[in-house]
DNA sequence: AGGGGAAGTTAAAACGTTTTCAGAAGGAGG
DNA sequence: CCTCCTTCTGAAAACGTTTTAACTTCCCCT
């Protein structure tokens, strides 16, 4: 790593920036007072012009605006929020921004918030409940009006208690809690749930395999206790049942999510004695791992094994072969979370919105010649 | 909410006002006043205990803490920031969070900020200068101490003027501007630049191809005016020159970045008459598009054409074949941006830090039997 | 000519903290 | 016993806005 100092040799590098700061005042920040003084009016008038929620005659108006422009006045958001009883802020809490799916949700939240002129704060937890709690606390101090918790989670007692505490605390402060893709521990809690219809999606994609003649289908990526995955597993089972398959036709590998998990689980599966012709992956990253394991095992997709994923991440069409998967419009999930929460403040207690998904057919599924 | 009567033996007058206020406007938010009242002390004492920057005897201390706990008191961040002259905040501005590379940078910034106890705000622009300006303005109002602009950009006059304005405005307010992966328009400006050594990285990966015997190498994904890409092109040319190739051995396709651009440009290239055995892609997404185009064209990688990428995005090892690329530790870039900016406040004007990169060899490069 | 609005403006009171300044209580030293 | 620290605590003054209530003008109407 090189540290290359700029051409400080030019001498007038600082260009009097520091001096200017010292000259104006101690802090260097222009306040509404100075604008008022320069415009020859009171601070109240300046405030009215700038906040724009009170009529001011054009003459004074332009005078104030000119002064503000000349001084490069910038309002202090904290002072504003203090007197205004808070500022319009929405906070999103994610496990990590680097996950393509979560990132899209965050982008949706941010975009929707922006259209309403709200500020959007993003926090990551890395899956650590401790950090989640700290961030929620921070958002309480910040006065966020909307806190959105994103992402599936194992629903244990600690989780239930935690979310109940958030919900009550935020509700008491007049804020709202939205759970995106995770369950409400108690239907009476003042939270809003927005999530995809995981069961329907999994049923549809499993049905797609069944229609192609597959009868021995493995679900790879179960995670007992995680409601999103549990719902997908339920959908998978439901599809099998619909096609008249018996209960023990279902085979669920609880390897959890992530590329590494999929790779490992698929490798083991290939070495085992269980026969199968198709795989439903818990999500696209699991599918990515599975594809690699299959290729490493010397088999071909879809000729030997068909594979489908879940979520349709941006690179799914670049997998080899391009992945047939379930498209979950993640950005729309984020937008919807904000929209629902803002639309109907009284909608809070126990409301639940399910968003639809659809199948994207690419090249990772082939028909079976002789259905067994 | 319960109003604790009689707990405060003294100061009946003060208690009356506070109680009245609490009773009148039951907004739901507990203030420091109510904590003071319940603990039987003044607000000053409560503040001292809670902010922790003044010694308070244990007895009073626990009494205050107990009261705060009992009322579930949460400090108002805005009031705090107002009197404290701002709050420790760092703002990151990205083109989009859904880009894996940018997302990693953001994660690095967030992580590093968190270790210092700073709040991290993320804004996206979608590449629109207008939105960039709006967000920077918002951060000025917010009083962010550190604004980090991330991502390559075409350096035109509008860009230069914009950044100069940001730099001066932020400097005047005592804040700092960091440019991550984009150039400083003027070495005298009070900005800090942190970026990867793109030229060295491109030189190294091109050298890797040259060592494998390739002599006809195309650079796919130039974007004239974008300093990051320009530097990579320069590195590519430098490597060719180092290996004794003439100037016109270089062939740069200025198709810009993104998977779609790579797909289109590569398709055209395959239909053209230019001969080549290897491709250096401007980044991994371009490489993804190129791989697809090559596969669609009925050719194989790396047997027929070798391909290398840039950035090593998480899914690069799942490309078909796994992509040989340049690893740019994006998260480290984000961390470094914060670290450098916080470490030495006087380091500002014109300082520039270059971060190193290294090659990751996978399966997309094969040796050439008969170097032409 | 005097009263009543309307229109335009301002002084001052919030908002919830931190911090300064000063007072009170309690010992120690003379 | 008085004085002088020390230690603890509280009243009040910031911080930079918005908003309320009041105060001018000025004009119109009777």
Are A229 and A297 in a shared domain?
yes
Q: What is the mean pLDDT of residues A161-165?
A: 95
Find, among B185, B129, B127, B173, the residue nearest to B147 by Cα.
B173
Distance D29 C1' – A51 CA (angstroms): 36
User: Both B220 and B281 in a single domain?
Assistant: yes
B273 plus B324 within the same structural domain: yes
Mean pLDDT (whole number) for B83-92: 90
Q: Is residue A9 part of a domain?
A: no
Read off the pLDDT of residues A239-270 as tens digits, 9 standing for 90 and up: 999 999 998 999 999 999 989 999 999 999 99
- pLDDT (tens digit, 9 = 90+) per residue, B118-145? 988 888 998 899 999 999 999 999 999 9
Closest residue to C14 (CA to C1') is A83
H or E segment to which residue B57 belongs: none
State whether A337 and A191 are in the same domain.
yes
CB B285 within 8 A of CB B258: yes
B288-333 pLDDT, tens digit per residue, is: 999 999 999 999 999 999 999 999 988 898 888 999 999 999 999 9
**Residue A242 falls inside a structural domain:** yes
Same domain membership, residue B294 and residue B178: no
B45 CB below 7 A from strand C atoms:
no
Give the least confident one: A19-28, A303-312, B117-126.
Answer: A19-28
Instruction: Tell whether the model's pLDDT for residue B185 goes beyond 80.
Output: yes
**A205 and A58 within one domain:** no
Query: Given a cut of 50, is residue B7 above it in pLDDT?
Result: no
| Chain A interface, best mutation among B30, B93, B122, by max A CB count within 10 A | B122
Is the residue at B372 inside a domain?
no
Q: Do A286 and A345 share a structural domain?
A: no
Give which of B173, B318, B354, B363 to mutate to test A binding, by max A Cβ within 10 Å: B318
pLDDT at position B158, please?
94
Answer yes or no: do A173 and A217 share one domain: no
Residue B104 belongs to some domain of the structure: yes
In a domain, B362, yes or no: no
| Distance from the B170 Cα atom to the nearest Cα atom in chain A, whole angstroms | 10
| The total number of structural domains that make up chain A | 3
Which residue's CA lies closest to nucleotide D9 at its C1' atom?
B45
How do beta strands A325-327 and A119-124 pair?
unpaired
- For B118 and C24, how far is CA from C1' in angstroms? 40
Does the CB of A58 sit below 7 A from strand C? no
pLDDT category of residue A299 using cuts at 50, 70 and 90:
very high
Show residues of chain A in contact with B188, CB under 8 Å: 6-7, 10, 12-13, 15
Question: Considering CB atoms only, which of A100, A137, A143 is closest to B76?
Answer: A143
Q: What is the CATH number of the domain that holds A190?
A: 3.40.50.2300
Are A13 and B350 within 8 A, CB to CB? Answer: yes
- One DSSP character per residue, B97-150 reads TTSHHHHHHHHHHHHHHHHTT-EEEEEE-TT-HHHHHHHHHHHHHHT-SEEEEE
Same domain, B221 and B267: yes
CA distance A140 to chain B (A): 7
> What average pLDDT does the segment B6-20 reach?
34
Name the residue facing A10 among B119, B169, B188 (closest C-beta).
B188
Task: Look at residue B8 and tell me if it is in a domain.
Answer: no
DSSP assigned state of B308:
E
Count CB-CB contacts under 10 A for residue A172: 17
CATH number, domain with residue A54: 1.10.260.40
Residues 6+ apart with CB under 8 A from B273: none
pLDDT tens for A108-143 read 999 999 898 898 888 899 889 999 999 999 999 999
Helix axes B32-39, B58-71, angle to 10 degrees: 130
| B230 and B131 belong to one structural domain | no
If asked whether residues A125 and A54 sit together in one domain, one would say no
Question: Distance (Å) from the C-alpha of residue A346 to the closest C-alpha of chain B?
Answer: 17
Contact B138 A122 (CB under 8 A): no
The structure tokens listed for B369 are 């039997």
Does residue B369 belong to any structural domain of this protein? no
Task: Find the CB nearest A110 among B82, B124, B137.
Answer: B124
For residue A149, the enclosing domain spans 87-195+332-353
Q: Are B81 and B109 in contact (CB under 8 A)?
A: no
* Pairing assessment for the beta strands B325-327 and B358-360 based on DSSP bridges: antiparallel
CA–CA distance from A344 to each of A191, A356, B232, B241 (Å)?
A: 12, 21, 51, 65
What pLDDT does residue A9 have? 34
Residues with CB under 7 A from strand D: A 27, 29, 31-33, 43-44, 46-48, 50-51, 53, 73-76, 79-80, 82-84; B 11, 14, 40-45, 48, 54-57, 59-60, 79, 82-83, 85
Is some CB atom of chain B closer than 8 A to the CB atom of A15?
Answer: yes
Question: Does B111 map to a domain?
Answer: yes
Question: Does B116 lie in the same domain as B51?
Answer: no
Confidence (pLDDT) at A296: 92
Among residues A195, A178, A173, A183, which one has the least CA distance to residue A91? A178
């Amino acid at each position: 790593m090189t540290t290359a100092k700029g051409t400080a040799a030019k001498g007038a590098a600082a260009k009097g920036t520091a001096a200017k700061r010292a000259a104006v005042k101690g802090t260097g920040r222009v306040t509404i007072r100075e604008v008022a003084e320069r415009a020859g009016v009171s601070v109240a008038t300046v405030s009215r012009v700038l906040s724009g929620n009170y009529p001011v005659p054009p003459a004074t108006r332009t005078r104030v605006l000119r002064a503000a422009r000349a001084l490069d006045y910038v309002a202090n958001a904290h002072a504003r929020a203090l007197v205004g009883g808070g500022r319009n802020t929405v906070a999103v809490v994610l496990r990590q921004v680097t996950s393509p799916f979560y990132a899209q949700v965050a982008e949706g939240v941010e975009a929707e918030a922006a259209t309403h002129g709200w500020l959007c704060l993003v926090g990551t937890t890395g899956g650590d409940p401790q950090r989640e709690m700290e961030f929620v606390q921070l958002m309480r101090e910040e006065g966020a009006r909307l806190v959105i918790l994103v992402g599936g989670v194992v629903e244990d007692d600690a989780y239930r208690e935690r979310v109940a505490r958030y919900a009550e605390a935020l509700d008491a402060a007049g804020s709202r809690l939205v759970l995106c893709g995770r369950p409400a521990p108690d239907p009476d809690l003042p939270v809003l749930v927005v999530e995809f219809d995981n069961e329907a999606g999994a049923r549809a994609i499993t049905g797609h395999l069944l229609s192609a003649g597959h009868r021995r289908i493995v679900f790879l990526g179960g995670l007992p206790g995680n409601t999103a995955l549990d719902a997908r597993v339920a959908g998978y089972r439901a599809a099998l049942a619909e096609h008249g398959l018996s209960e023990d036709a279902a085979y669920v590998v609880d390897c959890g999510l992530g590329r590494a998990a999929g790779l490992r689980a698929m490798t083991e599966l290939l070495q085992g004695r269980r026969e199968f012709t198709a795989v439903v992956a818990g999500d696209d990253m699991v599918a990515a791992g599975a594809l690699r394991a299959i290729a490493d095992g010397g088999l071909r997709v879809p000729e030997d094994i068909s594979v489908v994923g879940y979520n349709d991440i941006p690179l799914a069409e670049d997998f080899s072969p391009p992945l047939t998967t379930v498209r979950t419009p993640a950005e729309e999930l984020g937008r919807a979370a904000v929209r629902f929460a803002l639309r109907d403040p009284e909608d809070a207690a126990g409301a639940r919105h399910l968003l639809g998904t659809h199948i994207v057919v690419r090249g990772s599924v082939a028909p079976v010649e002789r259905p067994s």
